[in-house]
Chain A
Amino acid sequence: MVEKKIIIENDYGIHARPARLIVETASRFESDIQIVQDGKSVNAKSIMGILMLGAKKGTVLVLLTNGSDEIEAMEAVMAVFRKIASMKELQAK
């Protein structure tokens, strides 16, 4: 399992357009990919799930990937977040 913590810096948060990009990227991988916010965990391959998170600017998210291609999956998902969310990686405490 790979785990990373990020903070969203994008003004508009994660709304429909970026949500779609996340889903498209995550769906390419076999691993289970979860996005956790405030204890709520959603499947990154579900656009509904991501929307329901309501991730805004300043939101802290934990990304979890688990499976045979978990490393590549994490890299790819991080790359998407970087692109769409002006995200900053937080050092895990």
Chain B
Amino acid sequence: MKVLATYNIKGGVGKTATAVNLAYLAAAEGARTLVWDLDPQGAASFYFRVKPRVKGGSEALITGRRALDRAIKGTDYDNLDLIPADFSYRNMDLELGGAKKRTRRIDLLLRPMAKHYDYVILDCPPSISLVSENVFQAVNALIVPLIPTTLSIRTFDQLQAFLADNPGRKTRKVLAFFSMVDMRKNLHRELMSEMALPSRDVLDVRIPATSDIERMGVNRAPLPAFAPKSRSASAYQSLWTEIKSRL
């Protein structure tokens, strides 16, 4: 089982769209895939039309009072399951703070899933918190969407610095890619070429800013499910292929 997380300190960079589309593509290839919507806003749950509610909330899951697998919901797609968000996840930091092995709790909760899933994709809330520290411990790779703006790149450098100080899982990879790219903007082009330095390992694939991706919220479905031939869907496919080759 490989655990991936879409993560960025900054919000609004396309994390959830990435998590949902990658999960769909993994499942469509036949891999048993689980998405855990860790963001109390519940955007991934919304895309899958699953109510953002977990019995007992964050406390029950983190303490183990409710087994994680009992919170799993099947999505409309074969091999693709979801642990929905819950509004109580906003307090997850507190629950984790009170737990034993506070930074490894999510990792420990996910371990038994290895028998049932090939991929787990965590859709993380923005910011650096105890939740994200747990995520850093649990994952094989962090998938970091970057908008080619100065601020976004600055937060990426902050993340790299944080990870360098907090080593976590040894085999963990950080796979950044450019998201919401508008090639008509000079700034985007300039920043992307600037970023193409060996010290900042950025994937080749770029996800364009398109209205198709925005339509995911209207259709409440992964993009490749309703627009499989679109340019953005094929960009996500390339992203998934590239990520797999790097795992």
Indicate, yes or no, whether A interacts with B: no
Name A residues whose Cβ lies closer than 8 Å to a Cβ of B. none
Name B residues whose Cβ lies closer than 8 Å to a Cβ of A. none
